[in-house]
Chain A
Amino acid sequence: MNLFVLGINHKTAPVNVREKLSFSDQEIVEANKKLVSKTSLNEGLILSTCNRVEIYGVSNDPDADHFGEIKGFLSDFHQLDPECFEDRLYNYNGDRVIRHLYRVASGLDSMVIGEMEILGQVKKAYHVAKESKTTGKILHRLFQKTFTTAKKIRTDTAITRGLVSVSSVAVKLAGKILGTLVDKEVLVVGAGQIGEQLMMFLKKNGIKSILVANRTFEKAQELAVKFNATAVKFEDFKEGLVESDIVIASTGAPHCLIRKQDVSEFMPRRRQRPLFIIDLAVPRDVESEVNDIDNAYLYDIDDLQGIVEKNIELRKNELENCDKIIADSCDKFLHWLQVEKAIKNDERYVDNRVAFK
C-alpha cells in the first residue's frame, strides 16, 4: 500500500506547459478510469486546476515503477512527447504525499497564499474520482481528512485573513469611507484592466451608477455598455466630480489630470460629501496633495499594492502555525495507514494458512 503523487504546478512550469497537461471537465472521468486501468494503480485521482495538475495514486505493487507509468499515461492521454514536461514534474511518496495534499488544499501552495478557491477544486476532483469509481478506502480517508485539516487551518489560523487583491482592498476602503455603497456613484476616467476589475467589484457591491470618460469616446461607450454605465466626454469629466463619491483614474496621461485646486473648488459644490479617489495610473493622474483636503481620500496604486503586500506578509507569518496543524493531522493519518497495513498483512497471513491446510 504505497501512496504517491506526481504533478506539475505554477512554480515548476509556465502556463503553456501546464495547459497542455490539464484535463477538462468533460474528459476527467474518462481520464480517471484510464489512469487506474492502464497502470498498476489500485486507486487514482486527478486534480486539474489552472495552476496545477496532480495525480494521486495508491498501489499495492511495491515493485512497479509508478512514476514512469503515470508519465506514460500523461503522454498517451495528451499525446505529448514526455520530454516536453518531464523535467517540470515533481513527485512524492509516503508521508510527503499527505503533507503535500494538506498544504495544497489549505491554499499554502497556491500563488496567492491562503486562497480558499483551491479547497473547492480539490473537493470537486475528489467527487469526480468517486463518481469514476477510481477511489478506494485509502484515498477516501485521505481526502476526508484533507477537508477537515483545511477547515481547521481556516478557522484556527489567520492564513485566510486580510485582503490580498487591489480591488478587494479598494472596495473595503470605499466602505470604510462612504458606508453603504448602494446609493453611491462612481466616475471612471480612463480604461484599464485593474480599473475594469474594480468596476466589476463595485458593481457587485451594489454601487448605484457609473460614469465613464475616456479620451477615445468610443472606448468609453464600449465600457458603458458592458457595465450598464453612462459615457461622458473626456473634456467634461470634471463635472462628474460633483455627483460622484468614488473616482477611479487610470489614464495613460503623462501629467496630472486632477489637481488639488480642482478638488478644493468642487468640494463646496459637492456639499463637502466625502470623496474617495483611486489612482491606478502610472504616472499618476491625481496630484498627491489632494489627500490633504478634508473629506477627500486619495489612494494610488502603490498605496493599494503596499496594503496587499503587507497582508500577504501577515499570512506568511501564519505558515508556522499551519505547518503544526498539518504535521499533527499527517501523523494521525499515518498511524491509521499503518494499522490498515498491519490488518491487511494479517489477512494475507491468515489466507495463506487457510491455503496451506
Chain B
Amino acid sequence: MINRLTDFSSGFGNAYFVTHLIAIVASYAVFFVTFSAAVLYLVQDNNLKRKHLGAMFNRLPDLSLLDKLTYRSIELGFPILSVAIIAGFLLQKDISGSYWNWNTKEVYSVVSWLLYAVTLHVRLSSKLRGKKVALLSILAFGIIVFSLFVGCGG
C-alpha cells in the first residue's frame, strides 16, 4: 500500500489514508476489549448456569459489569469504525476512481460494521441482553479478524 501513496489523484489522499489507518487501529483495539468482555461474559454465564462455582467464578467480575463493558465498548468503537470505513471509501475513490469495488476486504468490513450496528441496536433497545449480545459481538469481531487475513491477500 505504501508505494500506492504516490498514486493519490486528489490532495486529500494522504489525509484519508492517515485517518483511515488511525481509526481502523483504534476501532480494532476497542473491539478487542468488546471481544474479551464478551468471552468472559460467556464463561461467567456458563459458570452460573451450570452452577460451577470454582476459582474461575470467584475471580471473574459480575455479569452486569461484563455486559455493560461489552455494549459500552461497542458504543465507543462503532463511530470510530464508521469513520475508518468512510475514510476507506474516500481513499478507494482516490486510488481507483470508484468508492466500491466489491473486493473482499470492503465486503467484510461493511458486514462487521453492520453486525456491530445490529448488536448495539438490540442491546440498547433491550430486545436482547447478555449471552446473545456477547455472541453477536464475538461473531462481529471474528469477521474483522478474518477480514484482516483476507485483506492481506487482496
Say yes or no for B93: interface residue by CB 8 A criterion.
no
What number of B residues sit within 8 Å (CB to CB) of A?
17
With a CB–CB cut-off of 8 A, which chain A residues contact B132?
294
Q: Is A274 an interface residue (CB 8 A)?
A: yes
Q: Is the CB of A295 within 8 A of B64?
A: no
Binds A, one of B24-32, B48-56, B80-88, B100-108: B48-56
Q: Which residues of B contact A (CB under 8 A)?
A: 44, 48-49, 51, 53, 57, 62-65, 126-132
Interface centre among B63, B127, B128, by most A CB within 10 Å? Answer: B63
Give bound CA distance, A271 to B62, whole Å.
19
Q: Are the CB atoms of A272 and B127 closer together than 8 Å?
A: yes
User: How many angstroms from the CA of A177 to the CA of B132 in the assembled complex?
Assistant: 16
Restricting to A131-190, which residues have a CB under 8 Å from any CB of B? 173, 175-180
A272 touches B48 (CB 8 A): no
**In chain B, what residue has the closest Cβ to A294?**
B131
Is the Cβ of A274 less than 8 Å from the Cβ of B49? no
Report whether A307 and B64 are in contact in the complex, using a CB–CB cutoff of 8 Å.
no
| A306 / chain B contacts, CB cutoff of 8 Å | 51
Cα–Cα distance between A109 and B91 once the two chains are bound (Å): 76
Q: Is the CB of B53 within 8 A of A274?
A: no
Contact A272 B62 (CB under 8 A): no
> Is A291 in contact with B63, judged by CB distance below 8 angstroms?
no
Please, which residues of chain B bring their CB within 8 A of the CB of A274? Answer: 63-64, 129-130
Do A179 and B53 touch across chains, with their CB atoms under 8 A apart? no
Interface residues of A (CB under 8 A from B): 173, 175-180, 268, 271-274, 291, 294-295, 297, 299, 303, 306-307
B65 engages A303 (CB within 8 Å): no
B51 A307 Cβ-Cβ under 8 A: yes
Within 8 Å CB of A303, what residues of B?
51
Report chain A residues within 8 Å CB of B127: 268, 272
**Cα–Cα, bound, A79→B75 (Å):** 76
Contact A175 B62 (CB under 8 A): yes
Asked if residues A178 and B62 are in contact (CB atoms below 8 Å), the reply is: yes
Check B51–A272 contact: CB distance below 8 A.
Answer: no
| Residue contact B129 to A272, C-beta cutoff 8 Å | yes
Interface core residue of A268, A294, A299, A303 (most chain B CB under 10 Å)? A294
B12 to chain A, nearest CB (A): 45
- Known A272-B126, A272-B127: A297·B48 in contact at CB below 8 Å: yes
B65 contacts A299, CB within 8 Å?
no
> Please, could you name 13 A-B residue pairs with CB atoms under 8 Å apart, sorted by A?
A173-B48, A173-B53, A176-B44, A176-B62, A177-B48, A177-B63, A178-B64, A179-B62, A271-B126, A272-B129, A273-B129, A294-B129, A307-B51
**Closest A residue to B130 using CB positions:** A295
Would B129 and A176 count as touching, CB distance under 8 A?
no
* Complex CA–CA separation, A175 to B62 (angstroms): 7
**In the complex, how many angstroms separate the beta carbon of A255 from the nearest chain B beta carbon?**
24
